[in-house]
Amino acid sequence: MFKHLTGDKWLSLTAVIAALLLIFVWVPLDIDTGLVEKVRRQIRLGDSLGPVTAGVVILLGGILTWMRPSADPQSLSVDNLKWMATLAVTIAVAFIVMRFAGPLITSLFTDTPYRALRATPPWNYIGYIAGGALLVATLISLARRKVSLSAALVGIIASLVFALLYDLPFDDLQLPPNGDV
């Protein structure tokens, strides 16, 4: 049934369904006041009006996209979805390394908890440089379609430079993940 639908028609359907869900499900369930409300005998605009307006705009956009699809429609391909998944995993792994590398390595070399060392070089750089270098090196390797030492070096140098850029001149700034630990 849906095989003949172009990318724009899919987008249109998605927008219309999302808009209807927003207007008729999300807004009534999650906002107490209506489109207008009466407060101390005065009528004023309620909190629902803005989101419902947004929903109507999305709905209208969906309908117009259905009626006037592009001659050369673009759509999300399976390859695009695979790339999004790859990207999400890469970033998630880099963030996890960034978050936990510092506390882990600190616990191996010292009895002082990481929280007490999160403003002390070199401990405060460990997570950021490990996660940042991993992120940069992985993306360069994906783009070049090969793993190389130069990609790793670029990652390490870039994250080291950014760490120093923020940490040396500004005492009150914290590198990731030091505000969270």
Partner 1 sequence: MGIWDHAVMGFMSVFSGPEAFTLLGISVSVTLVMILIGFLMGITVGATPGLAGPMAMAIALPILISIFGFSQDAFLPVMGFLIGIMKGATLGGSVPAILFNTPGTPDAYMTTLDGYPMAQKGQAKKALKVAHLSSVSGDTFSDVVLVLCAPFLAVLVESYLDLPEKAALLILSLAFIAAVIGGSVGKGLISMGLGLLAAMIATGEDFYPRLTMGSPALAEGFPIATAILGVLILGEVFKSIEDMIRSGIQSAPRPAATVAGDRLSFAEIRRLAPHIGRSSVIGTIIGALPGIGSTLAATLGYTFARARYDNKRSASDPRFGEGAPEGIAATEAANSAVSGANLIPVLSLGIPGNAAAVFLILGMESIGGFNPGPAVFRVPSDGFNPELIMAFGLFTAMFLTNGLNWTIGGVFMRAVGVMARVPKEVLLPVVLLLTLTAIYVQENTMAAMWIAVGFGMLGYIMRRVGMSPLPFVIAFILGGKLEETARQAFAATGGDPFFLFTHPIAAAFMVMSLAVIVFNLRKPSP
Site for partner 1 in 96-155 (CB under 8 A): 98-99, 128, 132, 135-136, 139-140, 142-145, 154-155
Sign of CA dihedral 61, 67, 72, 74: positive
Choose, by CB under 8 A, the member of 21, 25, 57, 116 that binds partner 1.
57
Judged by beta carbon, residue 53 or residue 110, the one nearer partner 1 is 53
The binding track of 4-23 with respect to partner 1, each residue x by CB under 8 A or -, is: ---xx--xx--x---x--x-
Whole-number minimum distance, CB 3 to partner 1, in Å? 19
Of 88 and 110, the one with the shorter C-beta distance to partner 1 is 88
Residue 12 C-beta: closest distance to partner 1, Å: 7
Give the separation between CA 93 and CA 135, rounded to whole angstroms.
8
Check residue 53 for interaction with partner 1 (CB under 8 A): yes
Q: How many Cα atoms sit within 13 Å of 170 on the Cβ side?
A: 10
What's the min distance (Å) between Cβ of 80 and partner 1?
5
Give alpha helix (H) positions in the chain.
7-21, 27-30, 49-67, 78-109, 114-117, 123-144, 149-167
CA angle at 88 for the pair 72 and 135, rounded to the nearest 5°: 115
